[in-house]
């Protein structure tokens, strides 16, 4: 890094550095700390054992999201005793320390990474942390977000700071236009498949280019959310009119002189022209097609028009062994086409793709059609607000009429931490972010794709190129 220019990442870190500890570590101030029910209990216990309080309760927010059932009932009860204990402990701890909580039956409850930006909590230039790896989502608004561990949660609660190891800088430029039938989900799956699951390890990635500027904020959330699947420690998109308008519409407290100060500060949140990145990648959005994962890692993805890769074509090593194990787990054969592969379940939801824009895309595919008899299809909105909006727009009625289950908000089947779990051997078309072995249930098989692609799979009963379905 030269002294002639700074990257956006360096600017954010420097503006939040309380103290420099050594060449690689700083004490970082955290503007907002988000908590959920499964990464906070030990942190609070450690705090209480030492007789400490929470330093800045108002800069901590909690959400019940991972273990909550999503059955379509008006009043939800967590039946699983250990899960119920996690939720009740979170409430006790939040009450004790005056921390705002979106509890089980709060009208605004949902997935933390959907709730916080839609309620105006995330603003450009912030440092946002959470005990969840997909905190990278907030880079879509020009905020540095990243996941932390339980011991770090305790430190943040006590001091509102974090001992932070500096990352390197990576820039990913995407120019051109996404072709019809493709989305930000297809773009990020393509990028991950090309640079690998460890391709951004140790880096904070800054996305830029004409294709990125053309994306909606919700599409940018998807992009930044999944950057961690390439190993990134963070993801950033410089604030522009699109993201600033999104924030100001929701952060209604930013008014008057404060608004003018904020706008002036946000203009500076971009990498200097002379800034040097440690590594750079370039992609052409025009090359993007609908992507689907075939294996058990997000980088094991190919175009829907492609075939399952042959591990024998790879050099001996970890990648080849991983591909061989993936085929054993998924039951696929090298060289087999993905289009036409029968699926039994469709899950549309998660912090990657459960916002209103995602549900509108699903509705466009589903309109006038029905879920295949061989498929169970679920739609789980990302928050109570998204659910209410989808119902007001008629999307929920359309989905129900087509044969989809319309659920309550939560993480649901993104991960097997609640009662939305797939049975062994069930193959699922999913809009989530991870397709690891057992991620959606022991022995279950996950194929990642966009909401439109998942909707097409629900209608046809197999993996389908949505571009063909749209032309019917």
pLDDT tens-place string over residues 153-201: 999 999 999 999 999 999 999 999 999 999 999 999 999 999 999 999 9
Based on the domain organization, do 321 and 454 belong to the same domain? yes
In a domain, 2, yes or no: no
Based on the domain organization, do 114 and 174 belong to the same domain? no
Based on the domain organization, do 173 and 275 belong to the same domain? yes
Please give the Cα distance from 178 to 184 (Å, whole number). 8
Based on the domain organization, do 112 and 188 belong to the same domain? no
CATH of the domain at 215: 3.40.1060.10
pLDDT at 294 over 70: yes
Based on the domain organization, do 302 and 372 belong to the same domain? yes
In a domain, 67, yes or no: yes
In a domain, 431, yes or no: yes
Mean pLDDT of 303-313: 96
Based on the domain organization, do 275 and 369 belong to the same domain? no
Based on the domain organization, do 206 and 259 belong to the same domain? no
In a domain, 3, yes or no: no
In a domain, 245, yes or no: no
Based on the domain organization, do 313 and 441 belong to the same domain? yes
Q: Are 265 and 125 in contact (CB under 8 A)?
A: yes
Q: Tell the burial category of 422 from Cβ atoms under 10 Å away from its Cβ (0-12, 13-18, 19+).
A: buried
Q: Which domain, by its residues, includes 135?
A: 8-165+252-265
Q: If residue 237 lies in a helix (H) or strand (E), which one and from where to where?
A: none
pLDDT at 3 over 70: no
Based on the domain organization, do 463 and 330 belong to the same domain? yes
> 3-state DSSP call for residue 151?
helix
Please give the Cα distance from 366 to 457 (Å, whole number). 10
In a domain, 226, yes or no: yes
- Segment 92-151, tens digit of pLDDT: 999 999 999 999 999 999 999 999 999 999 999 999 999 999 999 999 999 999 999 988
In a domain, 246, yes or no: no
Report residue 335's pLDDT band, with 50, 70 and 90 as the boundaries. Answer: very high
Based on the domain organization, do 299 and 406 belong to the same domain? yes
pLDDT at 472 over 70: no
Based on the domain organization, do 283 and 364 belong to the same domain? no
Phi then psi for 54, rounded to 5 degrees? -95, 125
Strand partners, 203: 168
Q: What is the dihedral of CA 430, 129, 147, 353, to 10 degrees?
A: 10
In a domain, 364, yes or no: yes
Q: Which two tokens stand for residue 179?
A: 């072709």
- Segment 356-376, tens digit of pLDDT: 999 999 999 999 999 999 999
pLDDT at 30: 98
pLDDT at 98: 97
- Segment 34-82, tens digit of pLDDT: 999 988 889 999 999 999 999 999 999 999 999 999 999 989 999 999 9
Mean of the per-residue pLDDT values of the chain: 96
pLDDT at 310 over 70: yes
Based on the domain organization, do 48 and 117 belong to the same domain? yes
Contacts (Cβ under 8 Å, ≥6 apart) of 288: 178, 179, 182, 186, 187, 190
Count up the domains in the chain and report the number.
Answer: 3
CATH of the domain at 400: 3.30.499.10
- Segment 137-146, tens digit of pLDDT: 999 999 999 9
pLDDT at 470: 63
pLDDT at 1 over 80: no
Q: What is the pTM of this model?
A: 0.97
């Amino acid at each position: 890094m030269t002294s002639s220019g700074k990257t956006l990442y360096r600017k954010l870190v420097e503006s939040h550095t309380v103290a420099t500890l050594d060449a690689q570590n700083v004490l970082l101030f955290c503007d907002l700390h988000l908590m959920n029910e499964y990464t906070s209990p030990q942190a609070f216990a450690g705090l209480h054992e030492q007789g400490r309080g929470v330093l800045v309760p108002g800069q901590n927010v909690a959400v019940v999201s991972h273990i909550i059932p999503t059955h379509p009932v008006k009043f939800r009860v967590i039946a699983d005793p250990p899960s119920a204990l996690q939720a009740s402990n979170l409430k006790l701890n939040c009450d004790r320390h005056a921390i705002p909580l979106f509890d089980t039956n709060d009208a605004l409850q949902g997935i933390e990474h959907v709730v916080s930006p839609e309620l105006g909590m995330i603003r450009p230039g912030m440092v946002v942390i959470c005990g969840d790896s997909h905190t990278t989502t907030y880079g879509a608004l020009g905020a540095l977000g990243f996941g932390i561990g339980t011991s770090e949660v305790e430190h943040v609660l006590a001091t509102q700071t974090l001992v932070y190891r500096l990352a390197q800088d990576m820039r990913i430029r995407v120019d051109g236009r996404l072709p019809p039938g493709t989305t930000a989900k297809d773009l990020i799956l393509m990028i991950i498949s090309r640079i690998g699951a460890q391709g951004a390890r140790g880096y904070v990635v800054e996305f830029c280019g004409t294709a990125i500027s053309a994306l909606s904020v919700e599409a940018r959330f998807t992009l930044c959310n999944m950057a961690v699947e390439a190993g990134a420690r963070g993801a950033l998109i410089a604030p522009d009119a699109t993201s600033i308008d999104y924030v100001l519409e929701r952060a209604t407290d930013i008014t008057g002189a404060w608004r003018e100060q904020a706008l002036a500060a946000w203009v500076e949140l971009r990498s200097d022209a002379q800034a040097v990145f440690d590594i750079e990648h370039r992609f052409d959005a025009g090359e993007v097609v609908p992507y689907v994962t075939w294996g058990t890692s997000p980088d094991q993805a190919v175009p829907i028009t492609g075939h399952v890769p042959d591990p024998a074509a790879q050099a001996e090593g970890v990648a080849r062994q991983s591909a061989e194990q993936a085929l054993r787990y998924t039951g696929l054969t090298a060289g087999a086409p993905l289009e036409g592969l029968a699926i039994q379940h469709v899950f549309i939801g998660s912090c990657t793709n459960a916002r209103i824009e995602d549900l509108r895309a699903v509705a466009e595919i589903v309109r006038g059609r029905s879920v295949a008899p061989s498929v169970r299809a679920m739609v789980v909105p990302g928050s109570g607000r998204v659910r209410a909006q989808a119902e007001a727009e008629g999307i929920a009625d359309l989905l129900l009429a087509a044969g989809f289950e319309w659920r309550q908000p939560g993480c649901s089947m993104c991960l097997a931490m609640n009662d939305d779990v797939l049975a062994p051997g069930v193959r699922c078309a999913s809009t989530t972010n991870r397709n690891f072995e057992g991620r959606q249930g022991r022995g279950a098989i996950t194929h990642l794709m966009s909401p439109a692609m998942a909707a097409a799979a629900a209608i046809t009963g197999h993996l389908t190129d949505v571009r063909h379905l749209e032309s019917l």
